[in-house]
Amino acid sequence: MSFTTAGIGEMMDNLNIDYKGHLFRFALAVLSMVAVYSAVDFWTLRTWDTSESLVVEVEDVGEEKILSPEEEDGEPFRTVETKVRVQVLTGEQKGKTFSIAVTQMEDSGMELKIGRRYILIVDVFDDGTMQYSIADVFRIPSVMGVIVFVCGCLIAFTGLVGAKALLGLGFSIACLLWGFIPLVVEGMAPVPLAFLSVLFIAVATIFCVVHRKQARVVVLLGSMGGVSGAFLLGFFMVELWQVSGLAGESASLLATTMTGINIKGILLSSVVISSVGAVLDVGISITAAMSELVEYDSEITGLCLWTAGIRVGSEVLGSMINTLILAYIGTSLPIAILIGNAGANFLGLMNDPYVSQEILQSVAGTSGLLLTIPITATFFVLREKVLKKNSSRSNPPDPQISSSQSIQPSQLTEPAASNSRLRRV
């Protein structure tokens, strides 16, 4: 079966797909990406701090020269010197071109390409000699451009719903970056701050995503119940397994840099914060499904409604568990490969502190998802009972109509009898 352009267009018209509007909004997203890239690039280069580094563009790359190997902790390592010609893009020497020798570690993964921009570090020694090294790729404008492009596509194809979701996400990131982290740095207890941050994140997300106002409280109670369950199980495993939270290099560096910080509290806070996203997904899905059932059948019993919520949550739980577990495995994949390369057996793997820490976060997050289902379903049924009770009080039955005043079949007129026979059918 062949499709022509006209046939595809006619089919999309029959499906009421506004493909022209989608294409126009997609073009706007592309233009927004280009505009943001240009603006960020201009602003970053104008305000770049040139006291420690320069932004340069590589114009030519020469041959690499392997220097004599040096030793660090008894193991030799080799450095590579590469002749490159660069143009300076920041500082007082902006616009000038230099030929320099860049020194970097062999197998550092930093491949210099012509036309790309990099951050150049200049080290000046006591004898006046200078050593140049590439710190990283200059990627700030492209990162911001891609973020704007993805957000623009989300808004283009989902409309107001996508915009509200991005608004909630922005509030969540701001709450963590400018709320939780600075307060922890100042010395406040991380676990209470984590719960407070999660509460704000949940409220913002529910307000932006959940359209049924009466269901928002149910989602909030169910999600916070799931997060609390994840924390309790995580706390139990931390005490039972005696996990210190120092298994990762970043945690060890944090403990040596900020003496006195509660590393176990940071670990439990990560359990709380990492589980809130998946917990909110499950809570919102269950509440939405149960709300649809109530709108379809307002006389549904509480038991049937609760059972339906549990079934919906059980099906959602399967995919969410995969999402949560695979996310933890993906972030710890390099260390998992390193442990596998060391030839560790299964028992040694299970006893490894890093693996135990990852298992703790995964299991605690999964338990939070599991508890969210019955908690959300229970609160939703209780809310429906309260609403029905209040509705019956505000709208009492008409006292003139009673069961003793029922209409007899002989009192039915012919049209009424016909309607009665149709209802029986």
Confidence at residue 395, expressed as pLDDT on a 0 to 100 scale: 65
Long-range contacts formed by 105-113: CB under 8 A, 24+ apart: 105/77, 105/78, 105/79, 105/80, 106/66, 106/77, 106/78, 106/79, 106/80, 110/134, 110/136, 110/137, 112/58, 112/61, 112/82, 112/84, 113/58, 113/61
Question: 99 pairs with which residues across the strands?
Answer: 85
- Helical segments of 15-159, H only: 19-47, 140-158
Structure tokens at 331: 């972030």
Long-range contacts formed by 399-402: CB under 8 A, 24+ apart: none
pTM of the model: 0.74
Confidence at residue 321, expressed as pLDDT on a 0 to 100 scale: 78
**Domains in the chain, ordered, with CATH?**
49-138 (2.40.50), 159-393 (no CATH)
pLDDT tens readout for residues 237-288: 999 988 888 777 778 888 888 888 888 889 999 999 988 988 998 999 999 9
Confidence at residue 289, expressed as pLDDT on a 0 to 100 scale: 92
Name residue, tokens 């995969």: 322
Confidence at residue 5, expressed as pLDDT on a 0 to 100 scale: 53
Q: Which helix (H) or strand (E) holds 55?
A: strand 53-66
Q: Which residues of the chain have pLDDT under 50?
A: 1-3, 11-12, 15, 71-74, 401-425
Cα atoms found within 13 Å of the Cα of residue 175, Cβ hemisphere only:
20
Confidence at residue 375, expressed as pLDDT on a 0 to 100 scale: 95
Q: How many whole angstroms separate alpha carbon 308 and alpha carbon 330?
A: 33
CB 138 within 8 A of CB 117: yes
Confidence at residue 401, expressed as pLDDT on a 0 to 100 scale: 45
